[in-house]
Amino acid sequence: MRKMKWDLSLAEKAQNVTDSCPDNINTGDGYGENVLASYVENPGKALEITLLDVEAVNATTYWKEQFRFQSFNADYFKNAITKDSQM
């Protein structure tokens, strides 16, 4: 497993993307993001931390499951690595 360390510059870029709330996926600047849309029955509850925690776990589980169906060959890494590299 790669060792990770906090990158303040990357954190600032992530915050800028979050603050601007874009409707498309960023593909530049050497980084990307994982995006998953979710529907909440009661929008008033959407801001509760516990619900956000559950949604974060659900999204991560969903993305992890996507790896099970990938064929990680040379063509995959050449053409589609942007999709899964953040996980």
Q: Is 26 exposed, middle or buried (0-12, 13-18, 19+ CB in 10 A)?
A: middle
Q: What is the number of structural domains in the chain?
A: 1
The H or E element spanning position 75 is: helix 74-79
Q: What percent of the chain has pLDDT over 90?
A: 5
For the chain, what's the residue count? Answer: 87
Residue 22 maps to a domain? yes
Residue 35 DSSP SS3: coil
pLDDT, residue 50, reads 63
Residue 29, domain extent: 8-84
* Residue 2 domain-assigned (yes or no): no
Helices (H), 5-68: 8-20, 49-67
The pTM (predicted TM-score) of the whole model is 0.44
Query: Is 3 part of any domain?
Result: no
Of the given ranges (11-25, 44-58, 70-84), which has the lowest mean pLDDT? Answer: 70-84
